Structure 1
Amino acid sequence: MLDKTEFKVIFDKHFDELRRYIYYRCGDEETASDLAQEVFMRVWEKRLQLEKDYIKPLLYKMAGDCVVSDYRKRSVHAGFVQNMRIESECLSPQDELQFEELKQQYEKALQHLTESQRTAFLMSRNDELKYQEIAERLQISVKAVEKRITETLRVLRTKLL
């Protein structure tokens, strides 16, 4: 179990070396800083379950996992962007207008949701978090997350059709 001062000591001691390790794996300073911060954020979230003796190997394991996960996300995103470019080049002005109208309807529908529904939905769709991760961050049950997202999808179907 880590308290605030112990966490700060661990952060100060290992952050720079962990960031360098991530940088050597991914080759981008900004990504390395972001991923190092993400590792420490996860450590803070799991601080009650951690043993201080094994923190350094855990940091490197988590950093490696974050690099792999980030690489996968970037690969999927790059493929999606490439497909979007090809499709957007083929869109007629009418298609673009319809897309913009649908986008506005979607944004308006999101505003009609409750804050809890919108938060859970956007964490799932935009941040690509699993229901378990959303539940942990919002400090609710997985069933509550499922219910919020199910209700959100029902509302969006109604508003967008």
Structure 2
Amino acid sequence: MSNQLLQRVARGDHDAFRLLFEEYAEKMHAAVYGYTKSQWVAEELVQEMFIRLWKYRQQLEKVEDTSGYLYRMTFNLINDWLKKTINEKNILEAVAHHKTSNPYDAEQQIRNDELKRILAAAIDQLPPQKKLIYQLNREQGFSYQEIAQMLQLSPSTVKNHLVEATKLLRTYLKNYSLSLALVVVKIFLSN
């Protein structure tokens, strides 16, 4: 039934769009709320999902699994929201830190910024699930239990992903340090 609705939506059928909304809006809202714990954010993201669905309706003709497609759209919007939230939080923390830091400690600030850049590059190398779990725990402060509820995983799975992510980050940073040391030695020997 919902695949037929989606095909009708693809052809611009407003009634089919309304029926699809009635069938899925509450389910999508529950999924988003599970991640964000905010009624307002859940409403906004579900609304955005349906706006995009209508805007790009011509692409729906190829979709075979309506439910899977809508959940994927919703998950992508949640992921974008989480990234935006993390970035906004980091910017606010950086501004607050800058206001309270010693103005004569510019060299240390440059080193800290470089370390943050290296760590961000390392985090970007993580597989998507490990990256998301790492960011939720380390950058947003969510507990294993909270993350498990958001992602519908067991707390032990969340812990395992976090342990593996930490190991991968350590390996990346060790390799980066070794590469940097080799460059410094090469520069030193060439002089």
The TM-score with structure 2 as length reference comes to 0.44
Aligned-pair CA distance for 1:71 = 0.5
Letter in 2 for 1:41: I
Alignment partner of 1:82 is 2:93: yes
CA distance in 2, matches of 1:57, 1:10: 14
Question: Could you say which residue in structure 1 is the equivalent of 2:47?
Answer: 37
Question: Could you say which residue in structure 2 is the equivalent of 1:69?
Answer: 80
Question: Could you say which residue in structure 2 is the equivalent of 1:13?
Answer: 23
SS, match of residue 22 in structure 1: helix
CA distance in 2, matches of 1:86, 1:15: 41
CA distance in 2, matches of 1:87, 1:15: 43
Aligned-pair CA distance for 1:53 = 4.8
Any idea what the Cα deviations from partners look like across 1:85-123, whole Å, max 9, x if unmatched? 223456xxxxxxxxxxxxxxxxxxxxxxxxxxxxxxxxx
Aligned match of 2:65 in 54, 59, 74?
Answer: 54
Structure 1 vs Structure 2 CA RMSD: 2.2
Aligned-pair CA distance for 1:36 = 0.8
Q: How do 1:1-161 residues align onto structure 2 when only pairs under 5 Å count?
A: 1=10, 2-51=12-61, 53-89=64-100
Between Structure 1 and Structure 2, whose CA radius of gyration is higher?
Answer: 2
Letter in 1 for 2:71: Y
Any idea what the Cα deviations from partners look like across 1:53-109, whole Å, max 9, x if unmatched? 53221110011111111101100110001111223456xxxxxxxxxxxxxxxxxxx
CA distance in 2, matches of 1:4, 1:53: 20
Aligned-pair CA distance for 1:4 = 1.4
SS, match of residue 30 in structure 2: helix
CA distance in 2, matches of 1:40, 1:85: 37
CA distance in 2, matches of 1:10, 1:16: 11
**5+ long unaligned stretches in structure 1:** 91-161
CA distance in 2, matches of 1:55, 1:49: 12
Count matched residues: 92
Aligned-pair CA distance for 1:9 = 0.9
CA distance in 2, matches of 1:42, 1:88: 40
Question: Could you say which residue in structure 1 is the equivalent of 2:156?
Answer: none
Aligned-pair CA distance for 1:13 = 1.2
Give runs of ≥4 in structure 1 deviating > 4 Å: none
The TM-score with structure 1 as length reference comes to 0.51
CA distance in 2, matches of 1:80, 1:42: 28
Aligned-pair CA distance for 1:12 = 1.3
Letter in 1 for 2:78: V
